[in-house]
Amino acid sequence: MNKDHKVLYSGMQATGNLTLGNYLGALKNWVGLADEYECYYGVMDLHSLTVRQDPPAFRAHARELMMIYIAAGIDPEKNVLYLQSSVPCHAELAWILNCYTYIGELQRMTQFKDKSAKHADNVNAGLFTYPVLMAADILLYQADVVPVGKDQLQHLEITRDIAQRFNGIYGDVFTVPEPYIGKIGARVMSLQDPSKKMSKSDENPNASIYLLDDPDTIRRKCRRAVTDSEATIAYRDEQPGLKNLFDIYCACTGKTPEEVVHEFAGCGYGQVKEALSEAVIAVLAPLQEKVKELQKDKSYIDNVMKTNAERAYYTANKTLRKVKKKIGLTDVR
Ligand code: TYM
């Protein structure tokens, strides 16, 4: 890891069942960034607690996400890959930053509004202060850039506001992060409702392709994907279902929408779906193979989690100590 490089920070919730959206929209595009940046990627298990988790399944999912990061090609020696909960500084800084964040700001967060409508029986305080924990994640590592999809941009904006407010009072404590503008990942929509993003929390399993789905499941989900009754091969907003299938196909094959429209000219939607499922299977097969291999080597993953937690802690704690000193907390160590 090159310490002279700019710092890049990102992560995913450890809620299990990562989708093709998480992969094509985020993970796939993280590979190779370590050549240019000092990269930190968290398995965000504390964020997952806003939804009730089954403890054994939750533990397994966090571990699985770590394996998926590595299987996708993110080298745990060139990048820092760690479990958020293994670095206590996150929760500590989040508490401090809560005291520099206004209720009105949090009430404006669209994800909070959406999720509290969806989980009306469990609108907990963690769901409300979720963006503050995310700000702590990013600011602890003095990140210059944060690659996230559009759905997370509002959270990055509030992170910037909190950092600027804090710096305004105490001087330059935090680097104010920018969204990472690099190779933009695909925005993958639900296969059952192309007006919604593909999401791991979708209750309809046919709406999402999961990274560890087997080939038959992928074929079945693609066959059932919602299209339209126009029976026209085109890439346009008026045919959102087909457009989404083409976007996924492009992201998997590296082709452009024009090339794809040309390739399928005169075909039926069935042929598009068949080609799409084979393209998705081809992209996921090596990743799934590698996850299977990693699952066999318990001590390797244990070791990655331990050594990387130490590396992350070292950086995070430096920032936390500086913050504590600035605000007047006593350091007795
Ligand atoms: P999460 O776990 O919901 O998503 C992880 C990443 O995947 C992207 N993504 C998608 N991209 C394209 N199409 C989709 N259908 C799709 N679904 C998800 C997201 O934009 C995201 O980049 N709050 C964050 C996790 C987090 C974080 C952080 C991220 C916690 N702390 C600090 C960056 C920095 C989240 O819930 O992502």
Please report, for the chain, the start and end positions of each structural domain, with discontinuous segments joined by +.
6-180+298-327, 215-292
pTM for this prediction: 0.94
Name the residue among 125, 51, 58, 60 with its Cα closest to residue 95. Answer: 125
> What average pLDDT does the segment 183-201 reach?
89
pLDDT at 157: 98
Residues 43-102 have pLDDT tens digits of 999 999 999 999 999 999 999 999 999 999 999 999 999 999 999 999 999 999 999 999
Check pLDDT > 90 for residue 186. Answer: no
Architecture per CATH, 215-292:
Orthogonal Bundle (1.10)
Domain 6-180+298-327 fold: Rossmann fold (3.40.50)
**pLDDT at residue 201, as a whole number:** 84
83 φ, ψ (degrees, to nearest 5): -85, 130
User: What is the arithmetic mean of pLDDT over 295-305?
Assistant: 97
What distance separates the 2 farthest-apart alpha carbons in the chain?
A: 74
Q: Which of 12, 47, 187 for mutating ligand 1's site (highest number of atoms within 8 Å of CB)?
A: 12
At 184 the pLDDT is 64
Active site residue 118: no
| Mean pLDDT score, 264-285 | 97
Q: Give the alpha-carbon dihedral of 161, 321, 128, 48, to 10 degrees.
A: 120
- The count of C-alpha atoms lying within 13 angstroms of the C-alpha of 206, restricted to the half-sphere facing its C-beta, is 10
Contact 240, 251 (CB under 8 A): no
Atom 18, ligand 1: residue with shortest CA distance = 22
115 is an active site residue: yes
d(CA 270, ligand 1 centre) in Å = 31
- Which one from 115, 221, 243, 273 is the annotated catalytic residue? 115
Q: Which residues line ligand 1 (CB under 6 A)?
A: 9-13, 21-22, 25-26, 44, 47, 134, 137-138, 146, 148-149, 151-152, 155, 185, 187-188, 197-198
Q: What is the mean pLDDT of residues 310-317?
A: 98
Assign 1 a pLDDT band (cuts: 50, 70, 90).
low
Q: How far is the CA of 102 from the centre of ligand 1 (A)?
A: 23
Q: Mind listing the pLDDT tens digit for each residue in 127-172?
A: 999 999 999 999 999 999 999 888 899 999 999 999 999 999 999 9
Residue partners of 314: CB distance under 8 A and separation at least 6? none
Say what the pLDDT of residue 61 is. 95
Q: Is the pLDDT of residue 200 over 90?
A: no
- Is it the case that residue 16 has pLDDT exceeding 80? no
Asked if the domains at 6-180+298-327 and 215-292 fall in one CATH topology, the answer is no
What is the number of the ligand 1 atom nearest to the C-alpha of 189?
15
- Asked about 78 being catalytic, the answer comes back as no
Summarize the confidence of residues 287-299 as an average pLDDT. Answer: 97
| 2 — pLDDT class (breaks 50, 70, 90) | low
**Residue 104 clears pLDDT 80, i.e. is over it:** yes
Categorize the per-residue pLDDT at 249 as very low, low, confident or very high, splitting at 50, 70 and 90.
very high
pLDDT value, residue 308: 98
